[in-house]
Chains A and B, each alone.
Chain A
Amino acid sequence: MTAPASTGRDLRLDFFRGLSLWFIFLDHIPSNRLSWLTIRNYGFSDAAEIFVFISGYTAAFVYARVMRERGFIVGSARILKRVWQLYVAFVFLSVIYIAQTAYVAHQFDNPLFAEEMVVLHFLQRPETILLEVLRLRFLVANADVLPLYVILMLAFPFMLWLLLRNPTLAFATSIAIWAAAYFGGVNLRLYPLERGWFFNPFAWQLLFFIGAWCAVGGARWIQTLYRSNIVLVICIVYLLFAFALAMTRVVPESVRMLPEWLLLFPLDKTGMSPLRLAHFLALTILVVRFIPQDTAFLRSGWAEPLLMCGRHSLEVFCLGVFLSLMGNFVLVEISGTLPMQVAVSISGIVLMVGLAALLSWYKDLDRRAPKQPATR
């Protein structure tokens, strides 16, 4: 990413965050053929990496200035306000999810899984499950990027404080925490089985941090990196390697040709495998190099739907999770044929864009409204 001092907002951030939200939506409808459009099938990393990286970048971009100008306390207060919004969104989504699961359980008429459905303990003990939701110990399947975001933002005041003072020490700390998660299995635990979070926050903070570092401390570094032709060649070779390996999942027979040391799948997503991380960073370097900030396309109307989604990422993300649950429900309940999958996917994206447009409209209203004179 280019230096943060540049004028205005980097539209590429909004664009790719919007894109990651579309991808996450498509990927989260099980057995949706349109998920073949998304990047997870063509390499190691997926849309979650884009989302977390850009969230780290924009968080640092926004809050570093507050912290620099108004100090740690005010900066932290602003960040914690955002944490509260994220937390409320998470609880809201969990409530909808629990209601929907209960509805499915109620509609369920398949004796084959009667046993599994009946013993869904959380429907029998709503008080327990609701409390565990509030304690971040029951995470909605497919929405666990959101609680990850909550934890990352909760720790962000300290991360940012250190990053602004000593970027190198901050980077080393972040890597050390990741290593504890990746090698030592340090993770938060979930109700009721005490298994770890799917997105281990101790591992995924590294990517969030790298995003923040690029926005605040690392811009000069990054510029040298992405202008280097050697780095470019390494990135392209690595991306092609990942692509070739990903294709062996499509053609199972080809797996037999692989030597043992190349049997890399499944890559550890929970612990953020270094191969995944490297894949995402290589992809980022290519994007930054070949899509300049002032690309005409980003300013044309065509990019607007994605830009709008990226700007209202929290709301659109939550709607996407809800829509993927509904989409799955529709595909299982009514019909799962290919045309139906296309219809569900497209209507979901249209609704996400619709919400983003509505929110933009509200924001516009607020901006144009005359300042209310202070009462009292």
Chain B
Amino acid sequence: MSWGAPSVRVAAATAAFLALVSAANAATDERCEIPAIFVEPLSPLPRAAAAARRDRKLDILVLSGSPSQTGAAKGLRSYPAYFQDALREKFPSLEVHVAISAAPRRSVADLVPQLDKVLADARPSLVIWQAGTADAYRGLEAESFAEALRRGLSKVLESGADVVLMDMQYSPRTDNLVDVGGYIANMRWITSSMEVPLFSRYEIMRHWNDTGAFDLGSLRNNGLFEQVHRCIGELLADFVARGAELKEFESKER
């Protein structure tokens, strides 16, 4: 088969690409779908709710020890960006800013000493703390992990911000090598004892993999990164909206 003139080739490639993109977009929303229990916070976010009501503004900080998962490393569009988009789109009368603070492969214990400075610089009213990946995959001791996590969460709360803890990704290729279950059980227990909501990315992704919504075992990207991050970002927005009762900002009028 011959391709003819270069312009034809470009046009064909563009058409194919556009078809692919629109197909992916059309499919995304449907595949994001998840039982409501995964996006229903068990504890409210009163500080974020108060800040939103007072200033009609929500400053959010995403805190992570895994830059590649926040897009901070490779410039990929990842869940913090989709999260911000979703909140802005859904709540037009609320000013939303999402900042990212990510350092490569930091355990919770590594991160806690820097928290004061990070919080003072960003002054968020809500922190999304994505934790556990480095700890689980380095096999750090469960007790010190739990202790550091508790200290970190207290620090955020003392700064006057609310915090949502986000756990690890479900990764079928490494799931048989690394037992993240114990860490997640710890995170669940600590957050409920401190009345901090836990956004369980692990359970959500596992659900997707079980139902076949996404093939998470794939070695290749095939758009998986953006699709999964878009879904996570949108579900996280839903989660925060429920926790901080943002419904009143749905209308455009101030």
Contact = CB atoms under 8 A, between A and B. Distances in A.
Interface in B205-234: 215-221, 224-225, 228-229
B68 A114 contact: yes
B217 A119 contact: no
B125 interface: no
Contact of B217 (A109, A115, A118, A332): A332
Given A116-B173, A119-B105, A110 B225 contact: yes
Contacts of B178: 116, 120
B174 interface: yes
Contact of B219 (A109, A119, A141, A192): A109
A107 B179 CA distance: 23
Contacts of B134: 115, 119
Contacts of A249: none
A82 to B, nearest CB: 28
Contacts of B105: 115, 118-119
Residue among B133, B174, B182 facing the most chain A CB atoms (10 A cut-off): B174
Contacts of B225: 110-112
A115 B133 contact: yes
Interface in A1-58: 30-31
A363 interface: no
B176 A113 contact: no
Contacts of A121: 137-139
A30 B219 contact: no
Interface residues of B, number: 32
Residue among A115, A142, A333 facing the most chain B CB atoms (10 A cut-off): A115
Contacts of B173: 104, 108, 113, 116-117, 332
B68 A111 contact: yes
A371 interface: no
Contacts of A118: 105
B169 A113 contact: yes
Nearest to A122: B177
A110 B218 contact: yes
B84 interface: no
B66 A115 contact: yes
Interface in A111-135: 111-122
Contacts of B220: 109-110
A332 to B, nearest CB: 5
Interface in B125-163: 133-134, 137-139
> What band does the interface of chain A fall in when counting residues whose beta carbon is under 8 Å from B?
20 to 34
B174 A120 contact: yes
B113 interface: no
A333 B182 CA distance: 30
Contacts of A113: 169, 171, 173-174, 216
B74 interface: yes
Nearest to B78: A111
B172 A120 contact: no
A107 B137 contact: no
Residue among B134, B215, B220 facing the most chain A CB atoms (10 A cut-off): B220
B19 interface: no
A177 B199 CA distance: 41
Contact of A116 (B169, B176, B219, B229): B169
Given A195-B179, A332-B218, A116 B137 contact: yes
A112 B169 contact: yes
Given A193-B139, A195-B179, A107 B174 contact: no
Contact of A119 (B133, B182, B216, B218): B133
A216 B134 CA distance: 52
A107 B220 CA distance: 9
Contact of A120 (B76, B133, B177, B228): B177
B138 A107 contact: no
Contacts of B215: 336
B219 A332 contact: yes
B69 A115 contact: yes
B139 A192 contact: yes
A164 B28 CA distance: 66
Interface string A86-114: 00000000000000010010011111111
A23 to B, nearest CB: 19
Interface in B13-54: none
A115 B76 CA distance: 14
Nearest to A107: B219
Nearest to A108: B219
Contact of A141 (B138, B171, B176): B176
Contacts of B219: 104, 107-110, 332-333
B64 to A, nearest CB: 10
Interface of A: 30-31, 101, 104, 107-122, 141-142, 192-193, 195, 332-333, 336
Interface of B: 66, 68-69, 74, 76, 105, 133-134, 137-139, 169, 171-174, 176-179, 182, 215-221, 224-225, 228-229
The 3 closest A-B pairs by CB, nearest first: A192-B139, A119-B137, A141-B176
26 contacts: A30-B172, A101-B177, A108-B219, A110-B218, A110-B225, A111-B225, A112-B216, A112-B228, A113-B169, A115-B66, A115-B68, A115-B105, A115-B133, A115-B134, A115-B169, A116-B174, A116-B178, A119-B133, A120-B174, A121-B138, A141-B176, A141-B177, A193-B179, A195-B179, A332-B173, A332-B219
